[in-house]
Each structure stands twice: as structure tokens, then as C-alpha cells.
């Protein structure tokens, strides 16, 4: 039972004065300041003496500028922070470039084709990193007690649900015990142990879970682990916590049913050519060619004409395509920034007060700016572009859509009203009422700090707990209220339904806590989602966001369907997220696969082995293949979408992925949407893939028809690495769904124990379309064509019979089958 190892590691943790964490690298110094708490100093010596170095990691929300490292006389840059005992991933950010600690050999993949450094502090934490699962055997009568754990103060171990019930989890060494039971009421003679369900295997540990219904407040509980003849009882006494009068964390109920569709307006649809920006490109023109004006000033395709294009998409175009969105089956819209800005993407705001006039009525911006005081919201009117936005918003809502917009509150563009005022004053810029809004390093000569080193995106100045400027903070709060309740009557039904927040980890959490209060006071049912690329435990505590864009989900799913990840690894990654986040958040996470900052889904699948959003540019010298992908890549993309539409959380589709649009990273992922009524594109490869569109519609309909897929509990049934098969269950009330997926390139046998099917009437709700090889030339070259997605319902003759036959039928290659059961 290896108690000596535990004692030795714990003893090594505490020494007089400075002490190192067990196995800590020479780049860190750990000093104990209290039980289970230390001061940790990180050190790094940059090659360039003038380099700016920051520390980023799980302990500061991966903020690349929040923790600067101070240069010392010995040439090293250092930062000291306080940390509780535990395991922390981190990196250094050197002149904007992320890098692992070169002096630390303990690393883990970062999901971006690189590595995070890992520091473990504390003897108990270090012990957990040393467990050897190879010695564990189920049924051998031995239990690794040191691995057994329950920590009720942490979300991963205990969660209070909305109805007062409590979700309790217990951990054991992977493959070490046969079962775990919860003993409620302190083990009184009449108490019967309640079996806990095995919910996940993550790394070296198995996780067990049970739900304690409301009505047991204050009762004691403990755990029994059983393996063979061995029976170990946890002697610690835990108590069911008092439920909070109001749940600390409540997310919008509607978001559980959302199927999101992300739109960048300039590239979606042009419904009014009178508001087009100067030098608007023809919508159907060949992407890789340049227009005469793009090279007139000496620019080339890559520097920088392809990045500066406009295609004229606007609000009227969006309004005209509402029927298409309805036919696709999505019910929630995320709009990239819509506020006044010079670029196509609008992340370089000129102001937040008005909608961009190239989306509405040209010339609005100048007229509005001339008559308004940025610091006084009582002077802000609604111009024609603003009113058109509200009209389209009203039509979308009437059609059943929820709508959120992008909030970019970390930085603006150089044309922003406030920044222009500061810079325009020259040496007297400090006298501007907006001088404290920005990171100004010098007024004469004028030098400012831009976001992530970009010279055209002035960053807002930060304090330790928010934005440094009180007037800036008030301005953003006023803007937030303006677009959530435009007429200010207290009824938010005429406003946006929430916000997607750009790079929120760049802004200290104190601001977001205050901002959330404003959002929820304006509309308690509003949805807040943050762009956090890594695990986001710190952001999902009920004080900042409702959800995050679930990039770890995308990374894992794309890697699996691309052949870069085993199903057991996929399952473990996703289980870690489910256990780490509150259920309220997990149910409403934006489960994207691709977006405006990545290559297109089908293209990333066609270029495997790179890591998510890594080495995905087509710049000269790149090996990335940007041509239209093969049928194999499209089929793998369908498999990824099938995971997306059946898994926990809210799926999100990047415009055009559903019709098979392809392309590398920005800007190739932002080509204009293909519409059949515009005629053929000049590039014949830019065309709608009808089979892909049909599959998307069928899979979205599958989710929409199933409460269990939108709201049900999750249980893994099979993770077979040898066959590349993953099977899981979604369960809600009397509905049970079994999702069987095969990521291998060949047919795989599929069978579950009879007990898994008993008690339900089954139908096949979805099956991946069959691929038929068709000869295309005398040389026997073939192309893949697909049949329509197949499904059955209980009303179809023979549906139940077919389902029974399918329960043991092989799974199609790169495909899956979804069974829907109703309790008998």
C-alpha cells in the first residue's frame, strides 16, 4: 500500500527556509509560507537583454500580460506568486511568443502542437504524479489507499444542482477496485451502501459518481472501496452541505437547447450594394487572384492585400438569408463584431456606440460622431444603421433565434474616437479625457502598447483588478446596457441575448465580475461566453462567465477523427472537462470545431499531425495543403460533427462549414459564403457540397428532436483503441440514446451486452450515409458519392425490427449509428 512513499514525499515537502517542490526545476524556487501554501519564484533568462517577459499559466487564467517578470542584475527575469499545493501548467511569454520553460523537463502537450511546462507543489500533489497503474489489478484484493480521495471543497468532487441535490465524486487508482459505494447517514445499522457509477478514467485514476437527492442536508457520508475480499472504508467524515438559497451559478436554460451558427457579416451575404466599402471585391471572384486596386500601391497578395479585403456582406444580406438558417436547423446566432470599425472583421473598433455603417446606412458614422459625447450616454442616438440592426434582430427573434454579439473590451483600433483624441493632442496628450484609457508609454514621441504586439490595436490600461480607468469602465457598462435594452424600458426583449467576449483573459477578473452584474441585472436570462482556449475552471465559478468557447473539445475531437488520438485518450480529455466544470456550465459550453481564427474543419482534417490551429498558414514555404480536400476528409468531418451534435454542450457551426467550404488559417477561412443563387464562382473548386449539407441538416435535426442529446446525462460505454471505436450513452428520463462511432477506415464489429438494450424500445435515429465508389474514367479512378443520411422513427414500419438488427451490425468506416430508446 506504499505508505512509506507517501510519508517520504510529505516529509520532503517541509524544510527550513527555502525549499523546492518535489522534483522542481532549477528555474523555480518554492518557499513554504503556510500549510499547503507557498511562494513560488519563476526565473527565465532571455537571449535579448531588452526582451519583455511575462509568466502565464493556469494560476492567472493564461493571461499573457498579467504577470510581468522583472529583469534582475544577473540577466534573469523573475516573478513571484503565491500558490496552493497542487499541479500547475505554465509558460513564459517572450516578446509575445509563448514558450515552455527550457529548464523544466516535466511537460505536457498544450493542444497547439507544443508543450506546457508543469510544476507540482506539495508532497501529496507530487505523490499523485508518481502513481504506477501497471501494478493495479481488479480483483487482486489489494487497494491503493493513497490514491483514494474525495475533496468536497472543489467543483471536480462535489457540485450542488439547481434542485438542491448534490453530485458527489470519489477517486481511486485506475483499474484498482471493483466498485465504490457511498454510505449515507454515518453507517448506521439500517444504512444500505449505495453503489456509485464509474464515470470516467482520466490518466492514473478512476472516477466514481453518485447523486444525493435533496433532503439530506447535514447528514454524514463516507465511502467504501471493494476489490476481491478487500473492503476499505474511508474513515473521514463528510457532511452533505447546506444548499444555497439561490444557486450560486445558474446559466440560461435556453442555452442548453442552442445550436449555434457563427457569422462574420462582411463574408456572409451582401444584401445592399449601396453601403459597400470602397474597393469591394466581387463576391464570386477567384480568391487567389488580386483585384487591380489591391496591388496599385505596391502591395502583394500576402503583404497585405488578402488580409484587407472587403466583400460587402451586411445586415440586409443576413435578413435575406433567415429562411436558409431556419432550413439548416440552427436556432442561435453568434455575430462577430458589428460595431463601427475599418476592417472586415471589426475587431478594431472605432466606437462601440454604433453599428458599422457598411452593414447598414453609409455615412451614419460621421454624422453620429459629430453630435455625441462619448462619455455621456444621454447624447447617444440611434442612427439608421443602428435601427436596421434592431429591425433584423427583431426579425431573427421572431423566427425563433437567439442572438449574441462579440464584445471586444480589451482593445480598440487606431481610429477609435478616444484613442484619436489622445494621439491627436501630441505632446499634450496627457490632457485628453481619455488619456488613462490606454497603455501610453510616451506622448512625445507617441508610443503605445498594442494588444499582443499588434501596432494597430491599442490596448486598454489595466489595474490589478480590472480596467485602470473609471470612465472607461463606465463607458463599457453603458454600451452593454445600450445593446441589451435599447429603449431602456427595463424589458430586454428588444436587445441582444448575450455576449461572446474576445480575449477576456487579457482583462483582470475583477472587471468581469462587475460586468456580469450589469449584464444579469439588465437581463437575468442573458448568456455570457468567453474566448478561453485552454481549460477554464477559474472562469466558470458563477462570478464571470456562463460558458467558454470549448476549444479543448475541438482539439480532442478533430485529433481523433484525423487519426492523431486514440478513443480512450479522447474520452479521458473530455471526461476531465466534464468533471472539472459545473454541470450548469458544461451543458451550455460552445462546442465549436472551427472558427474565424482557425483553418476550416475539413482542411484541418486534411492536414493531420499539426496540432490544433498550428502550422496552418499557406504562406510561401508552408507545407499546408490548401486545395479542396478529398472525400475522405469530408467523411471524417461528418464524423466530427456527429460527435458535436450528440455530445454534452451546445454545438456551434462556423458559417460555410456545413456546405463544405475549405481553407487554411485566417484569411483563407473567411472566404465569402457560397450561395447557389449567385451562380458559379470563378474558382470551380468553390462550390456547395450537397452531401455535406444534407448530413449537417440531418445531424442538427437529430439533436433538435432529442431532449436527451441536449440535456441528458453522459456515460461512456466503450473506448476501444484497437478498433478505434467510441460508444457513449445520453440519458434523460424515459429517453435513452446510444451513440456508436467508428473513426477507423474500415468496418468494425459492434456489440453491447444485452443488458444495455433491455427495458427500452429502440429505433435507429441516425446512420452515417453510405459511401459508394463510382468509376470516373477508363483508368478506374474513383470518386466517393454518398447516399442520404438514414434514420427511422417509431412511426416507421419495421423501425424497431431494423433497430434490433442494427444493434449487432458492424459500424461503417469513418461513421456511426445513433440509437434512440424509449422506456417500456
Residue 476: band (very low, low, confident or very high) from pLDDT cuts 50, 70, 90: very high
Percent of the chain with pLDDT over 90: 69
pTM over 0.75: yes
Q: What is the mean pLDDT of residues 443-451?
A: 92
Please report the DSSP string for 729-765 in residue order: EEEETTEEEEEEEE-SSS-B-----GGGTTTEEEEEE
Among 64-68, 324-328, 429-433, which stretch is predicted with the lowest mean pLDDT?
Answer: 64-68
Residue 541: band (very low, low, confident or very high) from pLDDT cuts 50, 70, 90: confident
User: What's the rounded Cα separation, in Å, for the pair 22 and 439?
Assistant: 40
Helix 631-646 and helix 551-561, axial crossing angle in degrees, nearest 10: 140
Q: What number of other Cβ atoms are within 10 A of residue 289's Cβ? A: 11
Judged on CB neighbours under 10 Å (0-12, 13-18, 19+), 332 is: buried
Q: What is the pLDDT of residue 517?
A: 97
Q: What is the mean pLDDT of residues 77-85?
A: 91
Taking alpha carbons only, the member of 261, 291, 298 closest to residue 277 is 291
Answer whether residue 785 shows pLDDT above 60.
no
Residue 753: band (very low, low, confident or very high) from pLDDT cuts 50, 70, 90: very high
Query: CA triplet 8, 14, 19: central angle to 5 degrees?
Result: 115
Q: What is the mean pLDDT of residues 670-676?
A: 98
Q: What is the pLDDT of residue 788?
A: 54
| 586-626: pLDDT as tens digits | 999 999 999 999 999 999 999 999 899 999 999 999 999 99
Alpha-carbon distances, residue 104 vs 80, 123, 366 (angstroms): 17, 18, 55
If one compares 32 and 716, the residue with the highest pLDDT of the two is 716
User: What's the rounded Cα separation, in Å, for the pair 515 and 552?
Assistant: 26
Q: Enter the C-alpha cell of residue 74.
A: 544577473
Residue 247: band (very low, low, confident or very high) from pLDDT cuts 50, 70, 90: low
| 696-706: pLDDT as tens digits | 999 999 999 99
Q: What is the pLDDT of residue 151?
A: 87
Q: What is the mean pLDDT of residues 154-165?
A: 81
Answer whether residue 225 shows pLDDT above 50.
yes
Residues annotated as catalytic are 502, 531
Can you tell me which residue has the cell 477578473? 509
Beta strands (DSSP E) in 492-549 are: 498-501, 527-530, 547-548
DSSP-derived letter for residue 284 is T
| Residue 137 three-state SS | coil
User: What's the rounded Cα separation, in Å, for the pair 504 and 473?
Assistant: 14
Q: What is the pLDDT of residue 748?
A: 95
Q: What is the pLDDT of residue 364?
A: 83
Residue 48 bridge partners (DSSP): none
User: What's the rounded Cα separation, in Å, for the pair 134 and 175?
Assistant: 9
Percent of the chain with pLDDT over 70: 90
Q: What is the mean pLDDT of residues 625-650?
A: 97
Residue 191: band (very low, low, confident or very high) from pLDDT cuts 50, 70, 90: confident
Do 166 and 224 touch, CB atoms closer than 8 A? no
| 392-425: pLDDT as tens digits | 999 999 999 999 999 999 999 999 999 999 999 9
Q: What is the pLDDT of residue 677?
A: 96
| Residue 695 three-state SS | helix
Taking alpha carbons only, the member of 233, 485, 258 closest to residue 382 is 485
Q: What is the pLDDT of residue 112?
A: 65
| 268-281: pLDDT as tens digits | 999 999 999 999 99
Q: What is the pLDDT of residue 777?
A: 29
Answer whether residue 4 shows pLDDT above 60.
no
Q: What is the mean pLDDT of residues 626-644?
A: 97
Phi then psi dihedrals of residue 552, to 5 deg: -60, -35
Residue 9: band (very low, low, confident or very high) from pLDDT cuts 50, 70, 90: very low
For residue 483, what are the contacts with CB-CB under 8 A and spacing of at least 6? 405, 495, 496
If one compares 823 and 188, the residue with the highest pLDDT of the two is 823
If one compares 766 and 146, the residue with the highest pLDDT of the two is 766
The per-residue pLDDT of the chain, averaged, comes to 89
Answer whether residue 797 shows pLDDT above 70.
no
Q: Hey, what long-range contacts does 124-130 have (CB within 8 A, 24 or more apart)? A: 124/6, 124/9, 124/10, 124/85, 125/85, 125/86, 125/87, 126/9, 126/13, 126/21, 126/22, 126/23, 127/5, 127/6, 127/9, 127/10, 128/87, 128/204, 129/23, 129/87, 130/5, 130/9
* Secondary structure (H, E, C), 297-335: CCCECCCEHHHCCCCCCCHHHHHHCHHHHHHHCCCEEEE
Q: What is the pLDDT of residue 188?
A: 61
Q: What is the pLDDT of residue 1?
A: 37
If one compares 108 and 690, the residue with the highest pLDDT of the two is 690
| 694-747: pLDDT as tens digits | 999 999 999 999 999 999 999 999 999 999 999 999 999 999 999 999 999 999
Amino acid at each position: 500500500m506504499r505508505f512509506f512513499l507517501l510519508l517520504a514525499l510529505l516529509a520532503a515537502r517541509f524544510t527550513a527556509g527555502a525549499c523546492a517542490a518535489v522534483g522542481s526545476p532549477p528555474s523555480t524556487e518554492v518557499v513554504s509560507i503556510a500549510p499547503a501554501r507557498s511562494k513560488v519564484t519563476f526565473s527565465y533568462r532571455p537571449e535579448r537583454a531588452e526582451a519583455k517577459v511575462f509568466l502565464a499559466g493556469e494560476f492567472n487564467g493564461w493571461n499573457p500580460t498579467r504577470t510581468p517578470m522583472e529583469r534582475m542584475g544577473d540577466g534573469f527575469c523573475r516573478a513571484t506568486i503565491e500558490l496552493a499545493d497542487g499541479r500547475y501548467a505554465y509558460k513564459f511569454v517572450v516578446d509575445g511568443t509563448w514558450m515552455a520553460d527550457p529548464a523544466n523537463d516535466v511537460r505536457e502537450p498544450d493542444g497547439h502542437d507544443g508543450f506546457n511546462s508543469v510544476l507540482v507543489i506539495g508532497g501529496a500533489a507530487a505523490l499523485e504524479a508518481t502513481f504506477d497503474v501497471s501494478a493495479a489489478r481488479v480483483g487482486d484484493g489489494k487497494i491503493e489507499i493513497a490514491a483514494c480521495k474525495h475533496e468536497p471543497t472543489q467543483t471536480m468532487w462535489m457540485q450542488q444542482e439547481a434542485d438542491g441535490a448534490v453530485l458527489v465524486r470519489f477517486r481511486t487508482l485506475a483499474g484498482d477496485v471493483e466498485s465504490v459505494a457511498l454510505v449515507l447517514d454515518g453507517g448506521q445499522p439500517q444504512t444500505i451502501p449505495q453503489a456509485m457509477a464509474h464515470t470516467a478514467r482520466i490518466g492514473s485514476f478512476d472516477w466514481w459518481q453518485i447523486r444525493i437527492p435533496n433532503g439530506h442536508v447535514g447528514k454524514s457520508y463516507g465511502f467504501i472501496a471493494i476489490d476481491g475480499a478487500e473492503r476499505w472504508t474511508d474513515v473521514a467524515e463528510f457532511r452533505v452541505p447546506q444548499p444555497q438559497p439561490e444557486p450560486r451559478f445558474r446559466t440560461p436554460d435556453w442555452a442548453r437547447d442552442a445550436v449555434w451558427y457563427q457569422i462574420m457579416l462582411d463574408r456572409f451575404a451582401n444584401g445592399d450594394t449601396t453601403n459597400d466599402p470602397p474597393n469591394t471585391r466581387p463576391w464570386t471572384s477567384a480568391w487567389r487572384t488580386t483585384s487591380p486596386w489591391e496591388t496599385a500601391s505596391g502591395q502583394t497578395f500576402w503583404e497585405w492585400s488578402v488580409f484587407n479585403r472587403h466583400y460587402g456582406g451586411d445586415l440586409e444580406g443576413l435578413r435575406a438569408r433567415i429562411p436558409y438558417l431556419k432550413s439548416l436547423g440552427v436556432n442561435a446566432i453568434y455575430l462577430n463584431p458589428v460595431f463601427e470599425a475599418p476592417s472586415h472583421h471589426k475587431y478594431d473598433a472605432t466606437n462601440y456606440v454604433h453599428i458599422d455603417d457598411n452593414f447598414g446606412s453609409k455615412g451614419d458614422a460621421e454624422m453620429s460622431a459629430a453630435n455625441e459625447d462619448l462619455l455621456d450616454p444621454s447624447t447617444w442616438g440611434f442612427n439608421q444603421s443602428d435601427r436596421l440592426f434592431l429591425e433584423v434582430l427583431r426579425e431573427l427573434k421572431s423566427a425563433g433565434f437567439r442572438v449574441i454579439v462579440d464584445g471586444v473590451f480589451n482593445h480598440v483600433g487606431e481610429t477609435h474616437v478616444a484613442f484619436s483624441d489622445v494621439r491627436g493632442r501630441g505632446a499634450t496628450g496627457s490632457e485628453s479625457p481619455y488619456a488613462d484609457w490606454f497603455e501610453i508609454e510616451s506622448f512625445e514621441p507617441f508610443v503605445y502598447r498594442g494588444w499582443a504586439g499588434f501596432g494597430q490595436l491599442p490596448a486598454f490600461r489595466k489595474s490589478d483588478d480590472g480596467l485602470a480607468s473609471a470612465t472607461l469602465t463606465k463607458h463599457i457598462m453603458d454600451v452593454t446596457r445600450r445593446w441589451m435594452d435599447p429603449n431602456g424600458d427595463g424589458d430586454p426583449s428588444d436587445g441582444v441575448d448575450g455576449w461572446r467576449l474576445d480575449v477576456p483573459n487579457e482583462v483582470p477578473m475583477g472587471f468581469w465580475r462587475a460586468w456580469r452584474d450589469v449584464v444579469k441585472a439588465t437581463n437575468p436570462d442573458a448568456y455570457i461566453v468567453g474566448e478561453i482556449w485552454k481549460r477554464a475552471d477559474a472562469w466558470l465559478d458563477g462570478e464571470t462567465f456562463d460558458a467558454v468557447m470549448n476549444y479543448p473539445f475541438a482539439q480532442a475531437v478533430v485529433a481523433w477523427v484525423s487519426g492523431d488520438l486514440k478513443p480512450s485518450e479522447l474520452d479521458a480529455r473530455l471526461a476531465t472537462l466534464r468533471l472539472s466544470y459545473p454541470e450548469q456550465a458544461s451543458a451550455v459550453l460552445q462546442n465549436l470545431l472551427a472558427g474565424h481564427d482557425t483553418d476550416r474543419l475539413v482542411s484541418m482534417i486534411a492536414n493531420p499531425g499539426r496540432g490544433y490551429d498550428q502550422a496552418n498558414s499557406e504562406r510561401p514555404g508552408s507545407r499546408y495543403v490548401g486545395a479542396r480536400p478529398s472525400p475522405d476528409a469530408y467523411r471524417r468531418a461528418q464524423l466530427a460533427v456527429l460527435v458535436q451534435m450528440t455530445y454534452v454542450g451546445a454545438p456551434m457551426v462556423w458559417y460555410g462549414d456545413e456546405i463544405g467550404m475549405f481553407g487554411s488559417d485566417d484569411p483563407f477561412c473567411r472566404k465569402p459564403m457560397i450561395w447557389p443563387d449567385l451562380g458559379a464562382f470563378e474558382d470551380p473548386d468553390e462550390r456547395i457540397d450537397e452531401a455535406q449539407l444534407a448530413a449537417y441538416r440531418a445531424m442538427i435535426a437529430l439533436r433538435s428532436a432529442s431532449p436527451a442529446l441536449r440535456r441528458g446525462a453522459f456515460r461512456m460505454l466503450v473506448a476501444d483503441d484497437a478498433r478505434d471505436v467510441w460508444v457513449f450513452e445520453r440519458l434523460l428520463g424515459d429517453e435513452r440514446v446510444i451513440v456508436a462511432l467508428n473513426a477507423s477506415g474500415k468496418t468494425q464489429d459492434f456489440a453491447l451486452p444485452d443488458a444495455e438494450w433491455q427495458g427500452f424500445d429502440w429505433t435507429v435515429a441516425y446512420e452515417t450515409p453510405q459511401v459508394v465508389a463510382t468509376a470516373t474514367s477508363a483508368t478506374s479512378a474513383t470518386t466517393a458519392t454518398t447516399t442520404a443520411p438514414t434514420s427511422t422513427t417509431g412511426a416507421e414500419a419495421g423501425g424497431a425490427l431494423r433497430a434490433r438488427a442494427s444493434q449487432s451490425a458492424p459500424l461503417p468506416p469513418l461513421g456511426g449509428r445513433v440509437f434512440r430508446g424509449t422506456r417500456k
